[in-house]
Amino acid sequence: MKCILNYYSAVFIFLAVVSGIVSAAEKDLKVPSCRVVPLPGHRTAFLYQGKEVAVWHYGSQYPRPFFYPLRSVKGTSLTRMGHPGAPDHDHHRSVWFAHHKVGGVDFWSDLGNGKVKQKQWLAYEDGEDEALMAVLLGWFDGQDKLLMEQEVVAAWRPGNGLGHELELQLTFRPVAERLDLEKTNFGFLAVRMAKYLSGHFGTGQLSDSERRKGEKAIFSKSARWVDYSGPTPAVPDGREGIAYFDHPENPNYPSHWHVREDGWMGSGFCLKESHTLKRESPLVLRYLLLAHSGNAGHPQLEGVAKDFKVRPGFSVSKSSRPHRHFEVRRK
């Protein structure tokens, strides 16, 4: 009997000690608010306080990678896959990178020969203020020849009480000494809005930094930003949407915009003229997508533009930290 009591006493003491260690570990454990998490099926998710806010898809079954969904603070999916009424526009995958003619190759349509593939991920960084992802893409022609590489840095961050921000820095490096980007309305960063935010299929409205409204007033015009917003299932009596900001350091700033009432918007980098990429001086483009809810009128969006203007960009470099090949940081 005494042996049994001693046994249970020892077990009780052991469990108490272990419980104390676990409790101390739980107190010390702090999970960052902003995280980037690789998932099965060639996907990478951005999480805020444990909730999924955006997902990067880069599987080989797609002609090019894309983000879907891009959610508001209410959880609303603000983008969609494909056109609401045109089956030949299935290449409109939420938020994606493409260009109609790169060295004569069509990288825009799914019927084109060009494919954009993720070659490798470079770095994932979690944090309280933002989560960072750096990946390397390759642009391949119909013979699987690499024409250029595209480094993508995506930063997801909570945005000044207005909503979530997806900040993008794109660096294009041609393999040859020179590579021509032909004049086109299409490319590089495109956004297909959810059906209920479309001006034609829903009740959304286009506006821009110059206080113009609607497709006819904004199409091909230059502006510092464009906004597409309206009532959503989560906010039927208010507005949610995406504001798309060009950065002052981008060539051709302020951008000319390709917008449509059917729910599409994109900065037309080559809308007015062609551009030649040079290997010795890579092209760097910076954009910001604000997934906003509530009070995001012209004055508030102007404030976001001013903040984005002075915000440092990113650098990707070999890491000196253990167990990391690369790291991405603000400059």
The DSSP result for 203-235, as a single string, is S-EEEETTS-BSHHHHTT-B-SEEEEEE--SS-
| Calculated CA dihedral for residues 219, 220, 225, 229, nearest 10 degrees | 20
Predicted local distance difference test score (pLDDT) of residue 21: 43
The two three-digit tokens of residue 82, written as one number = 């494909």
Predicted local distance difference test score (pLDDT) of residue 136: 98
- Do 266 and 228 sit in the same domain of this protein? yes
- Do 105 and 2 sit in the same domain of this protein? no
- Do 16 and 90 sit in the same domain of this protein? no
What burial letters (b/e) apply to 128-140, b meaning 16+ CB within 10 Å?
eebbbbbbbbbbb
Taking residues 240-262, report their average pLDDT.
Answer: 98
Q: How many other CB atoms are found less than 10 A from the CB of residue 56?
A: 23
- Do 25 and 104 sit in the same domain of this protein? no
- Do 86 and 185 sit in the same domain of this protein? yes
- Do 24 and 41 sit in the same domain of this protein? no
Measured distance CA(115)–CA(117) in Å, rounded:
6
Can you tell me which residue has the tokens 């070999």?
318
- Cβ–Cβ under 8 Å, residues 50 and 34: no
By residue count, the chain amounts to 331
- Cβ–Cβ under 8 Å, residues 137 and 57: no
Predicted local distance difference test score (pLDDT) of residue 237: 92
Taking residues 221-236, report their average pLDDT.
Answer: 96
21 is in which domain, residue-wise? 1-30
| Banded pLDDT at 14 (limits 50, 70, 90) | very low
- Do 25 and 47 sit in the same domain of this protein? no
Taking residues 33-37, report their average pLDDT.
Answer: 97
- 304-329 pLDDT tens trace: 999 999 999 999 999 999 999 999 99
Measured distance CA(42)–CA(40) in Å, rounded:
6
H or E element at residue 3: helix 2-28
Q: Which of 280, 286, 291 is nearest to 240 (CA)?
A: 291
Checking 224-229 for CB contacts under 8 A at 24+ apart, the result is 224/253, 224/254, 224/305, 225/301, 225/304, 225/305, 226/257, 226/259, 226/265, 227/296, 227/301, 228/191, 228/193, 228/197, 228/204, 228/259, 228/263, 228/265, 229/197, 229/204, 229/205, 229/292, 229/296
Percent of the chain with pLDDT over 70: 92
- Do 266 and 287 sit in the same domain of this protein? yes
| Gyration radius of the chain over CA positions | 23
Task: Say if residue 273's pLDDT is above 80.
Answer: yes
What burial letters (b/e) apply to 288-314, b meaning 16+ CB within 10 Å?
bbbbbbbebeeebbeebbeebeeeeeb
- 147-164 pLDDT tens trace: 999 999 999 999 778 999
- Do 20 and 73 sit in the same domain of this protein? no
Q: How many other CB atoms are found less than 10 A from the CB of residue 283?
A: 21
- Do 172 and 307 sit in the same domain of this protein? yes
Three-class SS state of 146: strand
Cα distances (Å, whole numbers) of residue 184 to 141, 170, 190, 226: 18, 19, 13, 19
- Do 180 and 201 sit in the same domain of this protein? yes
Q: What is the DSSP string of 274-304?
A: -EEEETTB-EEEEEEEEEEESS--HHHHHHH
Cα distances (Å, whole numbers) of residue 152 to 32, 190, 284, 312: 22, 15, 10, 16
- Do 194 and 306 sit in the same domain of this protein? yes
Q: Which residue has the higher pLDDT, 123 or 161?
A: 123
Number of domains observed in the structure of the chain: 2
Residue 59 belongs to domain with CATH number: 2.70.98
- Cβ–Cβ under 8 Å, residues 133 and 151: no
Q: Indicate the pTM of the whole model.
A: 0.91
Can you tell me which residue has the tokens 């099965």?
40
Measured distance CA(56)–CA(67) in Å, rounded:
4
